[in-house]
A and B are shown apart, each in its own frame.
Chain A
């Protein structure tokens, strides 16, 4: 069974540009989560999808971040326009069930905004 995959693995963009991150969850997992780790800080929750619906987006930093999950399969996270403080590692995780059950993480996308 394939794990959670993320693309790209690295992205370097200039301030003001747009970047789109993609996450493919484990097949059959309705629950998809985005997290972010900023240097020196802990991994923090961004949002949670159940199928194509946003269940909780309270962790999104501001309206420059837009997440979508069309068709309830893969998800994209777009940052527009990017700012320096958006640099970090963005992780996607998926889970078969909602609630306190194991979430399987992808390898992450390292975003550097210069």
Chain B
């Protein structure tokens, strides 16, 4: 059973076209919701951790938000260098580990 589900799987955006990525989770006792960025051939690069519903964090053109059931990663006025796969991961209370979604593959076209 999938604990973390990300949508859409793939997204093509025109440069400057803002959009949002969704991460829904079903883990019990969420202790943290993580967003990572992954470029081809590289390991995941840490972006944000959100700990409680209502929390928001920003970094450049990225903004992550968290509710009790899902998280969103908003990309504002994206640039081609924002093209990457964005991974969502939930840190569950009974297990000391990250449970990942399959990722959102984002391509930003100049």
Which of A's residues lie within 8 Å of B, judged by CB? 4, 33, 35, 41-45, 48, 55-56, 58-59, 91, 93, 98-108
Contact = CB atoms under 8 A, between A and B. Distances in A.
Contact of B100 (A4, A43, A48, A58): A43
Interface string B1-38: 00010000000000000000000000000011010100
Contact of A108 (B43, B51, B100): B43
Name the residue in B32, B43, B46 with the highest tally of chain A Cβ atoms < 10 Å from its Cβ: B43
Contacts of A103: 46, 98
18 contacts: A41-B102, A42-B100, A42-B101, A43-B87, A43-B89, A45-B97, A55-B96, A56-B95, A56-B96, A56-B97, A99-B96, A101-B32, A101-B49, A102-B46, A103-B98, A104-B46, A105-B45, A107-B43
B110 interface: no
Nearest to B88: A42
B44 A33 contact: no
B99 interface: yes
Contact of A44 (B31, B96, B100): B100
B16 to A, nearest CB: 30
Contacts of B96: 48, 55-56, 98-99
A47 to B, nearest CB: 9
A100 B43 contact: no
B97 A48 contact: yes
Nearest to B36: A105
Contacts of A107: 41-43
Interface in B77-110: 87, 89, 91, 95-103
B32 A100 contact: yes
